Amino acid sequence: MGTPAPSGPASIVSRRTVALLLIAILGPWLAVGLFFFGGRKPAVPAPTPHPVPALTAGEGATACAPGPWGQLEYIGILTEPPELQIIPTFPATDHTLWIFQGYDRDAFATLWRAAGLDAATIATLSRPELWTTEGATTAIRAPKDVVLRLTPQARTVIYTALAAFPDNAAQAEPYRFTLNARDEWFKDSGLKPETIAKIEPLLYSRGNSLLFSDQALVIPDLQSREERTQLLKTLARKSTLMLKLRVDASTDVEALENYWGFPGAKDIVPLLNSLKRRGTSTAVDIVHLLPRFARSRLYSYPAPNDPGVNSYMDCHWTVLNFFNQEPNPRYQDLNEVALTFRSNYHTVTGRPRYGDVYLFTLPNGDVIHSCVYIADNIVFTKNGSAPSSPWLLMKYEDVVAFYPSDQPLDIQRYRPNTLSPY
pLDDT band at 347 (very low <50, low <70, confident <90, very high): very high
Q: How many residues does the chain have?
A: 422
Nearest to 199 by CA among 178, 223, 219: 219
Strand order across the 378-382 sheet: 345-347, 410-416, 357-361, 367-375, 378-382, 391-395
Residues 6+ apart with CB under 8 A from 14: none
Q: Where are the alpha helices (DSSP H) in 38-132?
A: 105-114, 119-125
φ and ψ at 170, to 5 degrees?
-65, -30
User: pLDDT tens, 160-200?
Assistant: 999 989 899 999 889 988 888 888 999 999 999 999 999 99
pLDDT > 70: what percent of the chain? Answer: 82
On the 0-12 / 13-18 / 19+ scale of CB atoms within 10 A, 155 is: buried
pLDDT band at 112 (very low <50, low <70, confident <90, very high): very high
Can you name the residues that pair with 97 across neighbouring β-strands? 141
pLDDT band at 119 (very low <50, low <70, confident <90, very high): very high
Give the SS3 label for residue 286.
Answer: helix
| Distance in Å from the first CA to the final CA of the chain | 29
On the 0-12 / 13-18 / 19+ scale of CB atoms within 10 A, 6 is: buried
pLDDT band at 61 (very low <50, low <70, confident <90, very high): very high
Question: Residues 275, 282: contact at Cβ < 8 Å?
Answer: yes
Residue spans of the domains in the chain: they are 15-72+291-416, 87-235
Whole-angstrom Cα distance, residue 114 to residue 76? 37
Strand order across the 62-63 sheet: 62-63, 71-79, 238-247, 282-285
Which value, in Å, is the radius of gyration of the alpha carbons in the chain?
23
What pLDDT, on a 0 to 100 scale, did the predictor assign at position 323? 92
What pLDDT, on a 0 to 100 scale, did the predictor assign at position 388? 77
What pLDDT, on a 0 to 100 scale, did the predictor assign at position 179? 83
Angle at 140 between CA 149 and CA 209, to 5 degrees: 55
Least confident of 18-27, 84-93, 146-155, 258-267: 18-27
How many Cβ atoms sit within 10 Å of the Cβ of residue 112? 19
Q: Is the predicted pLDDT of residue 6 greater than 80, yes or no? A: no
The pTM of the full predicted model, rounded to 2 decimals, is 0.76
Cα dist from 7 to 26, 81, 407, whole Å = 11, 14, 21
What pLDDT, on a 0 to 100 scale, did the predictor assign at position 64? 97
What pLDDT, on a 0 to 100 scale, did the predictor assign at position 182? 86
pLDDT, average across residues 328-349 = 91
Q: Helix axis angle, 105-114 relative to 152-162, nearest 10°?
A: 140
Q: Is the predicted pLDDT of residue 35 greater than 70, yes or no? A: no
Angle at 254 between CA 249 and CA 258, to 5 degrees: 135
Q: What is the 3-state secondary structure (H, E, C) of 306-330?
A: CCCCCCCCCHHHHHHCCCCCCCCHH
Question: Residues 260, 268: contact at Cβ < 8 Å?
Answer: yes
Whole-angstrom Cα distance, residue 231 to residue 219? 8
